[in-house]
């Protein structure tokens, strides 16, 4: 039995999404910039998808810009805030994805911009008082905080953080790559200026995502060329990908509550089994706390195990990871930030396509491997 429990890295494509994409791979293949009927059909599809996404997020269609994924969306937001938004101070966290942290490092070299990191406790909970202090003592701020961490699953109260940013007239950017399609967003009430998302995290295709940019917030061009995406992002649009993204988001929101409850039950099941079979395990951050963590992610530390658990599980047909797929082979900056430097961490991440039987099998196999290692 092959078991895939690495859904935070990428999710399997929903067959219904593939069905929706196929006509735009084979029949409706026109360039949306062309004036003939093939091009007009493609253009119409793009705008329908844009409108569909906007309805789900309660925003304007023109506030949705299609990108190649979450990394590009994050890059556009940060570069825009610094180069066009007048920002000279960025407030962020040490837990952000490399798409944010590496972009900020690059901007610090090329522009007069400073970065401050929010203080936090040893579980990764952010200090709101420190946020207020940084906002009060600096001007021209951008606050960039992800909704949920991709490694340990901690949920951040982005509504409260965004409101604090609004109070101090700061820009606010949030990376929702792990949470889009898993939580509802109302961008008419959430005072965010930028929001990034990626289709392949909610059973859509790879290579496509979007950036939400609130109307009136300036956007910089990272890709130069033609006038696509209202002259904001050059290059012929990925029509099948955009269709897949919009379809996957439709499916996610049709069943959001049911899927949330089901996936949380799988996560709870694994927590119970690990605590029973391997009492020494520890859970990183807020990973095991249902109300404070993303229900699709469980980060587990095995204090006394050798660093070959991932390979041993893979040999048994069970796919998991140690953390972010974007930093394979490197020490986790997230775990380091909360002081987890010993033992062996495994990130289990779940989807609606997993089953209780798969959870039981994974726990049983893992317990057997740990017993062999300890022997």
* φ and ψ at residue 56, rounded to 5 degrees: -60, -35
Q: Which run of H or of E encompasses 129? A: helix 128-137
To which H or E segment does residue 276 belong? helix 256-277
Whether 302 contacts 319, CB under 8 Å? no
Q: What is the mean pLDDT of the chain?
A: 95
Beta bridge partners of 175: 196
* CB-CB neighbours of 91 under 10 Å: 26
**Domain 15-254 class, CATH top level:** alpha beta
Distance between CA atoms of residues 277 and 273, nearest Å: 6
49, 59, 326, 370: the catalytic one is 326
DSSP, residue by residue, 312-348 = HHHHTTEE-BSS-GGGTTS--HHHHHTT--SSEEEEE
The structure tokens listed for 38 are 């093939």
Catalytic-residue membership of 49? no
Render pLDDT for 112-170 as a digit per residue (tens, 0 to 9): 999 999 999 999 999 999 999 999 999 999 999 999 999 999 999 999 999 999 999 99
> Do residues 102 and 331 lie in contact, with contact meaning Cβ atoms separated by under 8 Å?
no
Model pTM score:
0.95
Distance CA 208, CA 231 (A): 18
What φ, ψ does residue 90 adopt, rounded to 5°?
-110, 130
Residues 173/81, Cβ–Cβ less than 8 Å = yes
For residues 200 and 69, the answer to whether their CB atoms sit within 8 Å is yes
Render pLDDT for 57-96 as a digit per residue (tens, 0 to 9): 999 999 999 999 999 999 999 999 999 999 999 999 999 9
DSSP secondary structure code for residue 7 in this structure: T
pLDDT at position 232 is 86
The yes-or-no verdict on residue 172 having pLDDT over 70 is: yes
The answer to whether domain 3-11+256-374 and domain 15-254 are alike in fold is no
> What is the layout of strands, in order, in the sheet containing 171-175?
64-67, 209-213, 194-198, 171-175, 141-144, 89-92, 114-117
pLDDT above 70 covers a percentage of the chain that reads 96
Residue 333 has pLDDT above 60, yes or no: yes
How far is 193 from 125, CA to CA, in rounded Å? 23
Domain spans of the chain? Answer: 3-11+256-374, 15-254
CATH number listed for the domain at residues 3-11+256-374:
3.90.1150.10
Phi and psi for 118 in degrees, rounded to 5? -65, 140
d(CA 188, CA 65) in angstroms, rounded, equals: 17
Dist CA 274 CA 205 (whole Å): 33
230 has a pLDDT exceeding 90:
no
């Amino acid at each position: 039995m092959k078991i895939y429990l690495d859904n935070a890295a990428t999710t399997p494509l929903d067959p219904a999404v593939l069905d929706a994409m196929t006509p735009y791979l084979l029949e409706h293949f026109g360039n949306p910039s062309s004036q003939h009927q093939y091009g007009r059909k493609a253009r119409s599809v793009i705008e329908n998808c844009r409108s569909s996404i906007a309805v789900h997020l309660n925003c304007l269609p023109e506030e949705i810009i299609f990108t190649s994924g979450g990394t590009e969306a994050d890059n556009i937001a940060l570069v825009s805030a610094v180069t066009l938004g007048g920002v000279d101070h960025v407030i962020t966290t040490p837990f952000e994805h490399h798409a944010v942290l590496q972009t900020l490092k690059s901007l610090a070299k090329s522009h007069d911009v400073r970065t401050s990191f929010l203080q936090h406790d040893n579980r990764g909970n952010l200090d709101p008082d420190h946020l207020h202090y940084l906002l009060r003592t600096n001007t021209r701020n951008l606050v960039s905080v992800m909704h949920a961490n991709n490694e340990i699953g901690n949920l951040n109260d982005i509504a409260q953080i965004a409101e604090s940013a609004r109070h101090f007239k700061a820009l606010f950017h949030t990376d929702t790559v792990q949470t889009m399609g898993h939580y509802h967003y109302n961008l008419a009430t959430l005072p965010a200026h930028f929001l990034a998302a990626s289709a392949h995290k909610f059973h859509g295709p790879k290579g496509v995502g979007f950036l939400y940019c609130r109307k009136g917030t300036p956007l910089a061009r990272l890709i130069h060329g033609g006038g696509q995406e209202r002259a904001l992002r050059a290059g012929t649009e990925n029509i099948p990908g955009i269709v897949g993204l919009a379809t996957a988001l439709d499916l996610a929101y049709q069943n959001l509550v049911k899927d949330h409850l089901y996936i949380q039950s799988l996560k709870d099941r694994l927590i119970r089994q690990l605590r029973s079979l391997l009492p020494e395990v520890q859970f990183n951050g807020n990973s095991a706390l249902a109300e404070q963590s993303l229900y699709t992610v469980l980060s587990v530390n095995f204090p006394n195990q050798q660093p070959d658990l991932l390979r041993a599980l893979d040999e048994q047909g069970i796919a998991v990871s140690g953390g972010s797929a974007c930093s394979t082979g490197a020490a986790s900056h997230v775990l380091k930030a909360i002081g987890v430097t010993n033992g062996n961490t495994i990130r289990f991440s779940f989807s609606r396509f997993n089953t209780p039987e798969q959870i039981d099998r994974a726990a049983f196999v893992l317990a057997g491997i740990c017993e062999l290692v300890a022997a």
